[in-house]
Amino acid sequence: MKLMRRLRVRRRADLEGVLGKAMRGEILGFDDVMNLLDEAERKLSEEPQLVKLKGKTVFIGDTHGDFETSARALRKFLSEGYNVVFFGDYVDRGDEQIENVNYLLANHLKEDKLILLRGNHESPVINMSYGFMEALYHVYGSEWPYAYIRYNEVFSNMPYAAIVDGIIAVHGGVAEGLRSLKQIESLRKKDMVPRNKIAFQILWNDPSEVLDTFGENLSRGGGVKYYGKAAVEGFLRANKLKVLVRSHEAYPDGYAMLFEGETGIEGLEHMLISIFSCSYYGVTPKAAVYDGRKVEVVSI
């Protein structure tokens, strides 16, 4: 009750002013950030769990507080008319994680071409231990718990997947038992700690070229799976899809092409593209760019 009373008495701020500060990379005061989160939750709660797009689209991997890469990607690709899909993991680890997530949420409120998918770090199970909770404590002092809860409520409304012209984008990948796109569409929102097996594995699973279907992924913890070529190929074929694009892993080159096979997309000979977009991992941030005909991996 104390928490709810504290949230109800907040001062309403000028939204345009709040968005302007966030889009300039400024740290917001407590009332400003809470109003940003209120508006972000309102918009995200109205989005489907599977966002359907049309036309040229760019896919941006984990940014983990790499504000400069996020800003550079948005400036470039929005100005060129692309849909821009971020794969999640906006917070934790990086130096500017609060600035990064606020910048993206503010732009999302202004720009319908920007889609913010959920990653495995958009949950208190992870972001209480990998830097985000501590960052909020240092910025907001005694008010950090209120901000922390609100951020995670916002995160729990982010969609799990996006699709454009047979290309499906998710943070981690195929889940064991995931057979239909309708299963993604029916996933519950406001699930701060994903209890649904499909939702959990979409955020956490990793590809492996030594498997055909699924195997235990002990490096990630209980319930997480590796998935192989047959799992990806079967899911794509069953849903008349062409390729899976995901993030979640920092490959040395910033990206990897896995599972060689026919895709139906010009010049693309692999059914899975994994990209990563955070410079803090010692890789050059990458993006996967779909121009309406072909997919190309580029540096950001």
pLDDT for residue 150 is more than 50: yes
pLDDT for residue 89 is more than 80: yes
Give residue-wise pLDDT tens across range 92-137: 998 999 999 999 999 999 999 999 999 999 999 999 999 999 999 9
Q: Which domains can be identified in the chain, with CATH numbers?
A: 2-299 (3.60.21.10)
Selection from 111, 108, 93 nearest residue 159 by Cα: 108
DSSP alpha helix (H) spans, 111-228: 124-127, 132-140, 144-155, 181-185, 197-204
Give residue-wise pLDDT tens across range 284-297: 999 999 999 999 99
At 80, the pLDDT band (50, 70, 90 cuts) reads: very high
Determine the Cα–Cα distance for residues 244 and 227; give it in Å rounded to an integer.
12
At 151, the pLDDT band (50, 70, 90 cuts) reads: very high
Residue the block writes with tokens 């231990």: 129
pLDDT for residue 183 is more than 70: yes
Question: What pLDDT, on a 0 to 100 scale, did the predictor assign at position 215?
Answer: 97
Q: Where are the beta strands (DSSP E) in the chain?
A: 50-52, 57-60, 83-86, 114-116, 161-164, 167-170, 206-207, 214-216, 225-227, 243-246, 255-260, 270-275, 286-290, 295-299
250-258 average pLDDT score: 97
In the chain, % of residues over pLDDT 90: 95
Give residue-wise pLDDT tens across range 17-33: 999 999 999 999 999 99
pLDDT for residue 247 is more than 50: yes
pLDDT for residue 143 is more than 60: yes
44-68 average pLDDT score: 98
Give residue-wise pLDDT tens across range 260-281: 999 999 999 999 999 999 999 9
At 14, the pLDDT band (50, 70, 90 cuts) reads: confident
Selection from 192, 170, 189, 197 nearest residue 181 by Cα: 170
pLDDT for residue 35 is more than 90: yes
φ, ψ dihedrals at 21, nearest 5°: -60, -45
DSSP reduced 3-state for 51: strand
